[in-house]
Amino acid sequence: MVEDRGVTSTPFSGRGAIDLGALASARQNQQQAAAAVANAPAGVVIDVTEASFQSAVIERSMTVPVVLDLWAEWCGPCKQLSPILEKLAAEYAGRWILAKVDVDAEKRVAAAFQVQSIPSVFAVIMGQPVPLFQGAYPEPQIRAILDELLKVAAEQGVTGTLTDDHGQVPEEPAGAEADTEPATDPRFDAAFNAIEAGDWDGAAAAYQLILDADPSERDAIAGLATVGLYRRTEGEDEGALRAIADQPDAAADVRVQCATADFDALAGSWTLAFDRLVACVRASIGPDRELVRARLLELFVLAGEDPAVPAARTALANALF
């Protein structure tokens, strides 16, 4: 059950995990979300700023649950999660509102929620924040969380639906047509197709071709790193790895610590992943240390501008020198 514990509490469902097919389905999710939102009641998905927060979130949450998606343009997992949330917001047709907050543009809002990593998802019910989850969860898990959220909201008397001034769900204006599907960069088609086929090597090769032509292409850099992450974690036993990694004498076990850090990264637990690998750097020597350092640098790429990155870079430098 969702518990109203405030913004400093443990996320709703603990650790999250990214579906291994999430990267492949990102393009499809974006297209489905665009079509769904175009046909949904007006206002089910909104962008929120500090100036509009009181009216758009706090006041609305008195009658309708508001789900906050805290994201950033540079965040790869955010690009996987946001289309899923938008699609579900349209599907639920006003039973809850999706409020999107760009943490780079709205730093004070992000600070108010003490956001440590993104994507982070909160609900607001009767003006009170409720942590839901961090990381890019798969759609079935998100749907289950939202259904539970609606039950908790109902227990608190929040059972409204997004309505217009006349008390009815707004209808699409006459003659309105669905927006066209968002354009996708054709350079990435080969990578997406390979991922959809479960061909990680092919996807990596496709991203590398893009980087050979344009080494600064950020989406390709992130895509290559993400494919590497998925490829490494596929078939691994996370529970067994963690049982070993948490042993007092396991800090220098490079394979176990790197593999466990990969699962931390999948959950968006960047601080945990970085701390784990920095400790492994300190406990390792020679080629092992270089391997861990390289893995840290790869995770820095995936984490983008997450607030945990600068501190981890400093910690890595101190561990090396």
Q: Which of 66, 78, 224, 278 is catalytic?
A: 78
Residue with tokens 């699962």: 263
Beta bridge partners of 68: 99, 122
The total of other beta-carbon atoms located within 10 Å of residue 254's CB is 19
Task: Please give the sequence-ordered ranges of beta strands (E in DSSP) within the chain, or none if there are none.
Answer: 45-47, 66-71, 97-102, 120-125, 128-134
> What distance in Å separates the CA atoms of residue 47 and residue 73, rounded to the nearest whole number?
14
* Helix axes of 189-196 and 22-38: crossing angle, nearest 10 degrees: 110
Beta bridge partners of 121: 69, 133
> What distance in Å separates the CA atoms of residue 129 and residue 68, rounded to the nearest whole number?
9
> What distance in Å separates the CA atoms of residue 262 and residue 299, rounded to the nearest whole number?
8
CB 270 within 8 A of CB 299: yes
CB 283 within 8 A of CB 249: no
Q: Which amino acid belongs to residue 241?
A: L
78 is catalytic: yes
> What distance in Å separates the CA atoms of residue 144 and residue 17, rounded to the nearest whole number?
15
Of residues 53, 51, 47, the one with CA closest to residue 124: 53
Q: Which residues contact 77 (CB under 8 A, 6 or more apart)?
A: 18, 118, 119, 135, 136, 268
280 is catalytic: no
Of residues 127, 122, 148, the one with CA closest to residue 62: 127
Q: Which of 75, 124, 303, 312 is catalytic?
A: 75
Q: What positions carry a catalytic annotation? A: 75, 78
